[in-house]
């Protein structure tokens, strides 16, 4: 079994690893149960399985699930990963209610038709005391990126549109800021947000000449990114926003 530190180096990886550690301490007598909704080819599922968790991936793409199973076999965790074809709209049909210690909804809320209904489904699948981890596209980071790229009409649209869309051809249904994300997760009173942080706050704006420099420069960028991810005024500019919300134990 791998250590939690080996799941990855980003702030999101470390937060998920910390939750896995918490699950182990809370129920040391059994294998932690993780549900990855919309997990596709298993970028997250395999990492979490390598930490010793039993992971069920629900996705509506048979091709993605086939890739997931190949990836799990190659990583030596096939026995810990279960692939289920399904959709968040009917999650209760394929995943038992309250059955998961940790539910991942990474890259999900910005593409579903009804984000509130998706949060309800993720919550229903979470065991009392368990956690929901969501990773979503950030609105203000998208505004900044388009502004610096000279796409001013798109930047204005993303900023002004209620859903943070750049127009009818935008592939995403919504982009969120931290207040909207928190309100969405806590709307029913069943989840309490414990963490909101930025993923990709400043590192994308660092000149390539810096990143191509000495290893010390890369470490400096990583350390700066870690600080920015937890700084409220800066994390709003993140490419993605990450939140961990706890389901009440009662």
Interatomic CA distance for residues 172 and 21, integer angstroms: 33
- Alpha-carbon gap, residue 122 to 132, rounded angstroms: 7
Q: Do residue 180 and residue 69 come from a single domain?
A: yes
Task: State the Cα–Cα distance between residues 187 and 121, nearest whole angstrom.
Answer: 13
Predicted pLDDT of residue 1: 43
Same domain, 84 and 208: yes
Same domain, 161 and 242: no
Whether residues 40 and 143 fall in one domain: no
For residue 213, name the pLDDT band (cuts at 50, 70, 90): low
User: How would residue 220 be classed by pLDDT, with cut points 50, 70 and 90?
Assistant: confident
Task: Report the C-alpha gap between 195 and 216 in whole angstroms.
Answer: 29
Q: Are residues 234 and 145 in the same domain?
A: no
pLDDT at 3 over 60: no
DSSP 248: P
Question: What are residue 54's phi and psi, to 5 degrees?
Answer: -90, 120
Together in a domain, 48 and 120:
yes
Average pLDDT, whole number, for the chain?
92
129 and 159 co-located in one domain: no
- Length of the chain, please? 250
In order of 13, 84, 120, 125, 197, the CA distances from 228 in angstroms are: 16, 37, 30, 32, 9
**Is the Cβ–Cβ distance between 89 and 108 less than 8 Å?**
no
pLDDT reported for residue 53: 96
Tell me how far CA of residue 113 lies from CA of 51, 87, 172, in angstroms: 33, 12, 10
Q: What is the pLDDT of residues 162-210, one digit of tens each?
A: 999 999 999 999 999 999 999 999 999 999 999 999 999 988 888 877 7
What is the CATH classification number for the domain harbouring 116? 3.40.50.150
The per-residue pLDDT for 105 is 97
Residue 86 pLDDT greater than 70, yes or no: yes
Same domain, 55 and 148: no
Q: Flag whether pLDDT at 159 surpasses 60.
A: yes
Q: CB under 8 Å to 23, separation ≥6 — which residues?
A: 32, 53, 101, 102, 130
Q: How many domains does the chain have?
A: 2
Structural domain of residue 157, as residue ranges? 139-167
Shared domain check, 240 and 154:
no
Looking at the structure, tell me whether residues 130 and 240 fall in a common domain.
Answer: yes
Which DSSP category does 42 fall into? T
117 and 145 belong to one structural domain: no
Average pLDDT over residues 71-100: 94
Q: Do 90 and 214 reside in the same domain of the chain?
A: yes
């Amino acid at each position: 079994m791998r250590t939690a530190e080996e799941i990855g180096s980003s702030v999101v990886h470390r937060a998920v690893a910390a939750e896995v550690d918490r699950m182990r301490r809370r129920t040391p007598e059994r294998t932690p149960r993780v549900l990855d909704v919309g997990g596709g080819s298993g970028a997250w599922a395999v990492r979490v399985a390598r930490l010793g968790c039993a992971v069920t991936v629900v996705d509506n793409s048979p091709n993605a699930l086939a890739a997931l199973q190949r990836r799990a076999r190659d990583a030596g965790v096939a026995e810990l990963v279960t692939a289920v074809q399904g959709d968040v709209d009917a999650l209760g049909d394929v995943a038992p209610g309250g059955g998961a210690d940790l539910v991942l909804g990474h890259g999900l809320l910005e593409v579903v038709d009804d984000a509130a209904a998706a949060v309800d489904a993720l919550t229903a699948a979470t065991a009392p005391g368990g956690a929901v981890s969501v990773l979503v596209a950030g609105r203000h980071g998208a505004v900044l990126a388009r502004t610096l790229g000279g796409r001013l009409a798109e930047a204005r649209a993303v900023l002004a549109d209620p859903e943070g869309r750049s127009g009818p051809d935008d592939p995403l249904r919504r982009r969120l800021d931290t207040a909207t994300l928190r309100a969405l997760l806590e709307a029913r009173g069943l989840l309490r947000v414990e963490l909101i942080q930025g993923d990709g706050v400043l590192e994308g704006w660092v000149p390539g000449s810096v990143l191509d420099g000495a290893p010390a420069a890369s470490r400096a960028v990583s350390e700066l990114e870690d600080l920015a991810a937890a700084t409220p005024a800066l994390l709003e500019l993140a490419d993605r926003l990450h939140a961990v919300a706890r389901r009440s134990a009662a």
